[in-house]
Amino acid sequence: MNLEVLNQDNAPEAARELLAKAEKKYGFVPNILGVMANSPALLEAYMAVSQIFEKTSFSAAEKQTVLLAVSTENGCDYCKGAHTAIAKMQKVDEAVLKAINNGEKLPDDKLDALFTFTRTMVEKRGLPSDDDLQAFFDAGYSEAQVQDVIVGIGMKTLSNYNNHIAGTPLDEQFKG
């Protein structure tokens, strides 16, 4: 099933201002947001959680690692493509992105621990073992960052599940 990608002209009134904000921020309205505009509540929730996730203590590379880990575990091709492109724009090491894409150990041990922990959290539905948590802490992450991972998981779960239903096409800006 595919859901329509809406724009500021044909979206419900409650979504139009949010789409205008997205266009101002990105220079275009990403398809993910255009599809979410079918439900102004989902669009607002996703945009709000995205802004909150940006406030976490994670670096740009760490944020993209979390988002790619969730999208990988959930099998969301749109988000994997979009966040790979965004990570490249943010100068995330190409070797890290290649390892994520190929399902290999990341060349940066700390990022690998974050990637592994995030995937474990998704796979185990938020029930990591003590060993899973200890490995995360041993890599240099804090208790607060465990919870920041949960924010990223919540954000990407909203979009991953919606993209599965919507069949969201990858934007030209994110291809390549």
Q: Which of 163, 166, 170, 169 has the alpha carbon at shortest distance from 3?
A: 166
What 3-state class would DSSP assign to 128?
A: coil
Spatial separation of the C-alpha atoms in residues 11 and 59, rounded to whole Å: 34
Helices (H), the chain: 13-26, 31-36, 40-54, 60-74, 77-89, 94-102, 109-123, 130-138, 143-166
pLDDT tens for each residue of 61-97: 999 999 999 999 999 999 999 999 999 999 999 999 9
Does residue 101 form part of some domain? yes
Residue 176 has pLDDT above 80, yes or no: no
Does residue 36 form part of some domain? no
Q: How many domains does the chain have?
A: 1
Does residue 4 form part of some domain? no
79-87 long-range Cβ contacts below 8 angstroms, 24+ apart: 79/32, 79/156, 79/159, 79/160, 79/163, 81/170, 81/174, 81/175, 82/30, 82/32, 82/170, 82/171, 82/174, 84/174, 85/173, 85/174, 85/175, 85/176, 86/174, 87/60, 87/61
Could you tell me the residue range of the domain that residue 125 belongs to? 60-166
Does residue 26 form part of some domain? no
CATH number, domain with residue 111: 1.20.1290.10
Does residue 97 form part of some domain? yes
pTM (predicted TM-score): 0.95
Does residue 22 form part of some domain? no
**DSSP type of residue 168:** P
Does residue 176 form part of some domain? no
pLDDT tens for each residue of 15-51: 999 999 999 999 999 999 999 999 999 999 999 999 9
pLDDT band for position 9 (50/70/90)?
Answer: very high
